Structure 1
Amino acid sequence: MDDISPDAFVDAVSGYQKTAAMKAALALDLFTAIASENGELELISKRVQASERGVRMLCDYLTVQGFLQKEVGRYRLTPSTSAFLTSSSPAWMGSIVDFIAAPEMTTLWLEDPVAFVRNGGSVGLGNMAPDNPVWVKFARAMVPFVTQTAQDIAQQVSTWPTAPKRVLDIAAGHGVFGIAIAKAAPGADVVATDWQAVLEVAKENAVAAGVSARYHTIAGSAFEVEWGTDFDLVLITNFLHHFDPPTCVEMLSKVRGSLSPGGRALAVDFVPNEDRVSPPFAAAFSFVMLASTPRGDAYTAREFEQMGREAGFSKVSVAPLPPSPQSLVVFE
């Protein structure tokens, strides 16, 4: 029998303190300093230009939270911290704090959480207002979170019998998914849609990746712009979860109408099991949508299949994308 304890409750209501600690550590590049200075507090403090007292307290807190280890007065990184939170690591993903913990985001959840629960969704448009500047933050911050997944999908596409020639990337954001396809299929032209300010970030990334000559953009709402037809591949990454099922069907119907014969649409999304409480990351994502969108949700495989059929697709398949917490949904 489990012990009765208030620990989980106290941990939950003080969760903002973890966010603050992580924001401070990343802003100071603390984890890189710990690795470079062999965990010695005095040298770490000098490197990050912060008080030794403050750094000690922060490092002790991060040790309690499992991000560090402490041995004989020295701090050590865990393998995961070393891989993902040192700025010298190719897998560094510290930038995502600039979106996930942005003031615009934290306000949505903490200012009046009762309101969005009572309302069954955000009061107002949440993050869904046209040209919301938070999506520029998203485009600049979230690249490390999706890069490996984008490369894995591009690798799958590269094994298709016929490489896609025309690719549409809906709500492209940073553009990483479409850019990965362009690199894997040298004959492919990519058309990306999103708000104009967001597309500027995607175009910067396309230039850096060396595919800008084959990367084209159309600014505006994905529901309103005319993006053309005869696409061999349409990417719908991290987009459908923002809307209710009828709206998703509307978008998927538009997508189906823009595909070439034999074309496919690929969605990347958080897909919980039918119980809606597992796996943890995907299941918890529905709460993210509750606070930040009027009618968004995390949809199960069965729900994606149903929406796909209503939109006219004859085959819908869902497969996990490890180590990512997301899944690939294929509409054919």
Structure 2
Amino acid sequence: MATSASPQPPTPERFFNAINAYEQTEAMKAAIELEIFTAIAEGNTCAATIAKRCQGAERGVEILCDYLTIHGFLTKEGAEYGLAPDSAFFLNKGSRAYLGGAIEFLLNPRIREGHARLTEAVRQGGSALGEGALEPDNPDWVRFARAMMPLMFMPAQVMAGELAKGGAVNKVLDIAASHGLYGISVAKQNAAAHIYASDWKNVLEVARENAQAMGVADRYHLLPGSAFDVDFGGDYDLALVTNFLHHFDLPTCTAFMRKVYASLRPGGRAAIVEFVPNADRVTPPTAAAFSLVMLASTPAGNAYTFQEIESLSREAGFVRAELAPPPIGLGRLIIAYR
């Protein structure tokens, strides 16, 4: 007769792993700064040769590499280390998909301080840092544009391909353009399209440089200033609202999308890219957990479900909103139709 497995006794392991999770952050930061992953990709596979390549002590490198192996970033056979598939693709400087530079933004002091003061944020329902991240010409957004750009190449291309299914576009508004890759990718797929990029003046310098480097500068126009205040103009076929709405509460998002609606021609579309949790707000994990980032870093931002974005789009005047099937990196694409 089969017997059910005995339940596992309570263990403090999850608590200790959570409390010590900062160790993994610092280990990853050190490995990227030392170029551990790149060194292994170059053929340095034992602690001694990795240490020589990375200008570190053999003992320190061995302990760090063992720690990275424990957490799945490296493999180990005997004394030889190798790269896990994700590390080979994203953390080797020789890879076209290298993401290590993203630590310049993701681990900047202001973001870390926001999480360090999370108890205050929970008590007051918003960041203990106040409006800082949303202040005009905040240099953090230049850092974001440069550091996060490699992460956005593939999502921008996927989004542009999905939008191309709805037909060609000639006039495109790119809101909070940042690095500019979303608008530039649309321009590359639509030879006649002119892109009008809105962001802070200092951030638009990064977008302008990228438009020049990618051969669309003659069709790339700048609209510097706050997206809430700048005159977008009108008659756009397409408006890109990428990774923007999560910084604000729902009433602010609704009011802003009314402005977007007014900028579009009849039949125009708004392409919204966001982290989109399910209605339970705890799945999928990465999208759902993004709400905590917004709690720590913004006064009232959040990760919104598709139902919430669909509702605010309709309230703003759009006739319908659809969730596109492919993931856009870690986010999702929602297309709202005027």
TM-score of Structure 1 vs Structure 2, range by shorter chain:
over 0.9
2:291 is matched with 286
- Structure 2 residue 176 is the aligned partner of structure 1 residue 168: no
- Structure 2 residue 309 is the aligned partner of structure 1 residue 304: yes
The 2-side partners of 1:245 and 1:320 are apart by: 24
1:158, CA displacement in angstroms?
A: 2.6
1:209 is matched with 214
Alignment counterpart, residue 127 of structure 2, candidates 112, 122, 125: 122
Is 253-262 or 37-46 further displaced after alignment? 37-46
- Structure 2: gaps of 5 or more residues: 1-6
Alignment counterpart, residue 254 of structure 1, candidates 256, 259, 263: 259
How do residues 223-238 of structure 1 correspond to structure 2 at under 5 angstroms?
223-238=228-243
Identity score, percent: 50
1:5, CA displacement in angstroms?
A: 1.6
1:324 is matched with 329
Q: Deviation per CA, 1:67-106, whole angstroms, max 9, x where unpaired?
A: 1111111111111111111011112111111111111211
2:113 is matched with 107
**CA root-mean-square deviation:** 1.2
Q: Alpha carbons of 1:11 and 1:53: their partners in 2 closer, same or farther (altered >3 Å)? A: same
Do the aligned residues in 1 keep the contact of 2:178 with 2:203 (CA within 8 Å)?
Answer: yes
SS of 1:321's equivalent in the other structure is strand
The 2-side partners of 1:302 and 1:267 are apart by: 13
The 2-side partners of 1:323 and 1:177 are apart by: 11
The 1-side partners of 2:44 and 2:285 are apart by: 35
- Structure 1: gaps of 5 or more residues: none
Do the aligned residues in 2 keep the contact of 1:126 with 1:294 (CA within 8 Å)?
Answer: no
Structure 2 letter corresponding to 1:308: S
The 2-side partners of 1:21 and 1:134 are apart by: 23
Q: Alpha carbons of 1:102 and 1:321: their partners in 2 closer, same or farther (altered >3 Å)? A: farther
Do the aligned residues in 1 keep the contact of 2:273 with 2:328 (CA within 8 Å)?
Answer: no
Q: TM-score, normalised by structure 1?
A: 0.96
How many residues get paired? 330
Is 30-39 or 210-219 further displaced after alignment? 30-39
Alignment counterpart, residue 49 of structure 2, candidates 16, 27, 43: 43
- Structure 2 residue 85 is the aligned partner of structure 1 residue 79: yes
SS of 2:206's equivalent in the other structure is helix
- Structure 2 residue 151 is the aligned partner of structure 1 residue 145: yes
Do the aligned residues in 2 keep the contact of 1:126 with 1:291 (CA within 8 Å)?
Answer: no
- Structure 1 runs, 4 residues or longer, greater than 2 Å off: 157-161, 319-325
Alignment counterpart, residue 314 of structure 1, candidates 304, 310, 319: 319
Alignment counterpart, residue 240 of structure 1, candidates 237, 240, 245: 245
Is 308-317 or 92-101 further displaced after alignment? 92-101
